[in-house]
Structure 1
């Protein structure tokens, strides 16, 4: 048997020496990368952010419409105040110009005379 072992030793091909890294023992459980968020949580997060953004856009749009309407209301109120002031001024002018003395003076300028026979009294005024 020794002869046979020697023949086997000569037939043995030596591999070049390679430094080998010692293998570590694998854990009982294969290690998985632990994800911070699952895919479902990521989808929910994206949906929540999109909903919040849409809500903010709608809120800003509504606030802008409210501001525009308030501005229009203020402009209309200014117009109403100006018109009421003009109406007041015009009613004062009407009272001033509708006095009896002024009307009688204008009638005399135009050559009209007072004829007592043609005067009719209208009750109620």
Structure 2
């Protein structure tokens, strides 16, 4: 992301340690990503995770595991927020072991999902 100009590299002093951080430079990329996540659970909802874009589905699971998914939904109206969270809950309630057994399932992705939601 640094090479693509989305982030930059800085050194910051945290008490006793100098740490390398990567602050956001290009907020347009972040806003596009947030919009994609919002659309995935609202206007482009498929009701079938196997028909969703795999990268976007993985992003939703990772954002939830990182506790930043609610931040992406914060600007939504109350009704849209409720719908988005309900659909995310549906995804989180899926059993990855059963999902990976379905035809044409991406077993590696569902194995990763299993690790993230435990």
For the aligned pair, the TM-score class normalised by the smaller chain equals: under 0.3
TM-score by structure 1 length?
0.21
TM-score by structure 2 length?
0.22
Q: Which has the larger radius of gyration?
A: 1
Greater strand content: 2
Greater helix content: 1
